[in-house]
Structure 1
């Protein structure tokens, strides 16, 4: 399947593409942008398909109306889940996990631009992004325990401790309490706090889009792959990955620009 930015006409979120940057906006502001079965599925498909769209070089995901995402819609998801059998529930939990897999597998860097409420599946989407910018008023909560569920949801028990440490992750996942913006920044969950969160996220995305895109994709892949291997194996994996990058035209362009005392213009090849 060939996928291009102009092909996408989503039903469950807004889509904008400019300067190599795709912006996904969750757009149910009257309810703080909750997810539904359909929006989960559409987001999952979009991130999988981005693997085939090299015009998109970086992605920003945000929410409309001053909030990021309040998680799964209480009436459209949680209510129906209470009536499903085990097979139906497993299809749902695998689908939600697939959204995280798709985000991690797509080669483009993903930046979450977070304001206001960032809860449940919304916190997972932020967690699963490569970089996270937040407003000073943002609050993130992995509140699954508040609805009688475990914190083991969509990879949270694997990914969150790697971002903020085991003890801090355990506290958030056991209690479901909100993590303040200052806490999240101090703990390394947020890369940056800014009152101009969307504008700054898009500016950062444009900077990344101008960079060596093949190399960025390799960095993203290795950041995930090296969780599971020894240091010795990781060093060998990085040797092979870097040797691959050294064969790109972008690497040659960078050298020639440096030699000419100019700024390199990367083209992603």
Structure 2
């Protein structure tokens, strides 16, 4: 076993925090056994986002990089729908009245939500039922893993409101998930992608019965949270960073990343458990 170092309290104070007790204002937040569940909770409107919820989600995902008690995240919606996008009355209406600097402030805020989702080390599992449109489709897209239902309807509908499909990273992410041609079709037309079609296209990892969707997403998240979470964070980082690398650069980056993981106690635990013919108990260090 490797020797555990003592972390300077001042360093820990600025870089480690617990978020289980976080009190969300604009959605539901629950942490259980290292799995955080974010529930968009405006079911009467199919869970649209507002200026406030955008900002709070952005800030919360930003804080997750420092969390010691959250090791995986599930994002879902209440009332049989995921998210209907930006609230028509609370976002779309006001945007029509804004000038360019304020509009850019808004679009940068929405993009920053995607950036913080990708930058946090925790794997994010989206549990998508019913309507998943606009910014809701982007949140699902920016997650690491997506579970859907046969009745899921995912629409990147920016074109339908007179906007470009290049919103919150869609033109970068979506082709990597489902291919350039399929992404082009969805972004040019804004049409809904059904659940079964979404699974065939690779947008959804699997389809679940609506009544089992959240439980299955949380079960996978728990499995990930009980795994080598430091190594999982490295995997997520490399999956994202290697988009912009050559093969040679990626292989070298992975060599360095894997060497770092070999210094962890989890790697040592796994070896000793294998020798003892036991299942390793990972602790994320």
Identify whether the pair has TM-score above 0.5, normalized to the shorter chain: yes
SS of the residue 2:282 aligns to? coil
CA distance in 2, matches of 1:75, 1:194: 32
Residue of structure 2 equivalent to 1:25:
39
Q: Is 2:222 aligned against 1:230?
A: no
Query: Which 4+ runs in 1 deviate beyond 4 A?
Result: none
| Superposed counterparts of 1:1-269, under 5 Å | 1=14, 2-195=16-209, 196-269=212-285
Deviation at 1:7, TM superposition (A): 3.6
SS of the residue 1:6 aligns to? coil
Cα displacement string for residues 2-43 of structure 1 (whole angstroms, at most 9, x for unaligned residues): 532234111100011101100000000000000000000000
CA distance in 1, matches of 2:243, 2:115: 15
TM-score by length of 2: 0.93
Deviation at 1:193, TM superposition (A): 0.4
CA distance in 1, matches of 2:144, 2:178: 14
SS of the residue 1:5 aligns to? coil
CA distance in 2, matches of 1:3, 1:114: 29
* Count of residue pairs the alignment pairs up: 269
Deviation at 1:183, TM superposition (A): 1.1
CA distance in 2, matches of 1:238, 1:54: 25
Q: For the Cα contact (< 8 Å) 2:20–2:69, is it kept in 1?
A: no
- Structure 2 alignment gaps of length 5 or more: 1-13
CA distance in 1, matches of 2:86, 2:215: 27
CA distance in 2, matches of 1:3, 1:155: 29
SS of the residue 1:112 aligns to? strand
Cα displacement string for residues 32-80 of structure 1 (whole angstroms, at most 9, x for unaligned residues): 0000000000000000001110210000000000000000000000000
- Structure 1 alignment gaps of length 5 or more: none
TM-score by length of 1: 0.99
Cα displacement string for residues 101-148 of structure 1 (whole angstroms, at most 9, x for unaligned residues): 000000000000010000000000000000000111111000001100
CA distance in 2, matches of 1:154, 1:22: 23
Residue of structure 1 equivalent to 2:5:
none
Cα displacement string for residues 154-205 of structure 1 (whole angstroms, at most 9, x for unaligned residues): 0000000000000000000000000011111011110010111100000000
